[in-house]
Amino acid sequence: MIERSNPLLLPFETLYDTAPFSSIKSNHFKPAIEECIKIAQREIDTITNNTENPTFENTIEALDFSGSLLEVVTSIFFNLNTAETTEEIQVLAKEIAPLLSNYSNDVLLNTTLFSRIKKIYHHKKDLNLNDEQNMLLERTYKKFTRNGANLDDESKTNLREIDQKLAVLKLNFGENVLAETNNFELHITNVEDLEGLPTINKKAAQELAKSKGKEGFVFTLDFPSYIPFITYVKKRELRQIMAIAYGSKAFKGNEYNNQENIKKIVELRHKRAKLLGYDSHAHYVLEERMAKTPTDVNIFLNDLLKKALPAALKELEQLQQFAKKDGIETLEKWDVAFYSEKLKMTRFNFDDEILKPYFKLENVVNGVFKICDILFDLKFEESFEIDKYHPEIRTYKVTDKQDNFIAILYTDFHPRKGKRNGAWMTSFKNQFIKNGKNSRPHISIVCNFSRATEDSPSLLTFNEVKTLFHEFGHALHGMLANTTYRSLSGTNVFWDFVELPSQLFENWCYEKESLKLFAFHYLTNEPISDELIQKIKESRIYLEGLATVRQLSFGKLDMAYHANAAVKIDDVKDFELAAFENTQLFSDIKENCVSTSFSHIFQGGYSSGYYSYKWAEVLDADAFEYFKLNGIFNKEISTKYKNTILSKGGTIPPMDLFFQFTGKKPSINPLLKRANLIN
């Protein structure tokens, strides 16, 4: 009966086998996932019950292709849980997470399955495997050993318990952050209190208030509301209210407090790592990263800090002296964005409000499409036949110049209740090749950009333009994937390599040749001037020292939590302050705590990996220098980039891919020069 009534368990009779969102109800998910687990388990049983000698094909390859339906259904579920969640979905997530954790452990702790894998692994030299097959074998073997395959039965039971607890704790963490974001609003009735705030942001706040049945203006902690407020509102006490509200998410001592969740997550991660024979969670994670050890990461972070800190202190002093003209004796965190923007206006005679009219959302999206056409021969055709999970979503069929089908792209650009803050790329289906058929991916970009108002279209800040390019860089990594195996496809690469395509693509935001393709004034259609482009380029390094130190501080906090198995956290805030000791440039706000809403490391996949943003900047600065030397639209270079970095996924070690593309190992100098941290 389940199979006949549940659309998740039926063949998707849709265009390009896309998810049939309009047919899916919340109550379909749990029974579908339970059934998918049974199907996947039967596929595992077929492997383990095979009486033939284990081979790469009947074991390693068969294992990689197993669980494909489960992967599709869980992708749909968890993507909805971040972009279009409901109370019902959140309850289901807590019930589903342990099921998936149990299934994963059933596979990874299956002694019969592992014995087959081990036999193949120990005879790999005799198998004449290609690079991709070798990588799949290596990754499969490590996946099992790194998840307890060599443990005794008692330790395996302990591992299962830890994984189940972690799955629920991470969900709780994210739900608390979302609840705290949704529960806050600042209601202002006096328009004079909003002096300095651009008209378009006032209008958006007014429309939000109206939608809530209120007079005046409503501001929230969603980025399109929070960032303009903290950047432009002159009234300091109101900026302070917003900054404290934003920084105190899940740190108020209420039912959404994340401090205990953090302590438990960190403790369980360390226990898990020790159980598996590693010194710490960071040692465990970094074994599968380009940076191999916590020592390597800390050396990298400290080397950058030595270069960035003097510049940051100099910039801070300049900012403080500038703020003193307004009578601000001590610059606080709620002053930084405001005075940074004012100083930028003074120094460069332009700000985001001057730029925004040139960055109409639709124009920027079309600009990205044009750049992808020039670089990679990609065409984007909007489709109105593909099902969507929300009416605001737009869907595109992506093809190459020979009209070959490449991918489906979903775009989801605006904040709403039930959607977490930030921006991310994800997939509903990964690319793979099976039985000679290249199954193409379904990729999604999710952002939180300002909506159109009654008076104007959605106009992006330059930072939002960068965000769109960043996520599109990830999307290219997913869309242009061309590997045999799902687990090695697209963004399934080492975590400190995955940000290279995204951060590299940001560089086209700064170049005259690319900006002239899409930056037109939304009222006059006038192209952006060379003068403004030059100011964009000059402002790129504006306060770069402060920005770098801030990013490094998050990397250091991440490592503090995860690099020492003996760590004892009595008080989350005290622990955080100790981790920030060498990077703390502003006085502490006692009501605030970064950790309690640091979703990247406590809910997402960045634990022991937050350093990778700066690591990838080293790679992207070096790679883009290669483009610049040969022309940013050089077809030979872009084709080489597509055929190495973008298409190969995790089939080849990332340092080898980088070398194949640039012909050399990465150097830190291009980044230091770009950031003006060295001459």
Cα distance between the two ends of the chain: 70
Q: Is 564 exposed, middle or buried (0-12, 13-18, 19+ CB in 10 A)?
A: middle
Q: Is 406 exposed, middle or buried (0-12, 13-18, 19+ CB in 10 A)?
A: buried
- Residues 240 and 248: their CA atoms lie apart, in Å, by 12
User: What's the order of all strands across the beta sheet hosting 394-399?
Assistant: 379-383, 394-399, 405-412, 442-446, 424-429
Tokens describing residue 192: 């004079």
- Residues 560 and 64: their CA atoms lie apart, in Å, by 35
Catalytic residue among 471, 499, 617, 625: 471
- Residues 440 and 647: their CA atoms lie apart, in Å, by 12
Give CA separation, 24 vs 6, 27, 32, 346, in Å: 8, 8, 11, 53
In 578-617 the beta strands, taken as DSSP E runs, fall at: none
- 544 carries an active-site annotation: no
DSSP, residue by residue, 171-237: HHHHHHHHHHHHH--EEE--GGGGTTS-HHHHHHHHHHHHHTT-SSEEE-SSHHHHHHHHHH---HH
- Residues 207 and 603: their CA atoms lie apart, in Å, by 32
φ/ψ bin of 10: left (φ > 0), alpha (ψ from -120 to 50), beta (otherwise): beta
Judge contact between 432 and 489, C-beta under 8 A. Answer: yes
- Residues 323 and 327: their CA atoms lie apart, in Å, by 7
User: How many Cα atoms within 13 Å fall on the side-chain side of residue 103?
Assistant: 23
Do the strands 437-439 and 394-399 form a parallel or antiparallel pair, or are they unpaired? unpaired
Q: Is 257 exposed, middle or buried (0-12, 13-18, 19+ CB in 10 A)?
A: middle
Q: Which of 481, 525, 451 is nearest to 223 (CA)?
A: 451
- Residues 604 and 285: their CA atoms lie apart, in Å, by 14
> Beta-carbon neighbour count of residue 196 at 10 Å?
15
The residues annotated with a catalytic role in the active site are 471
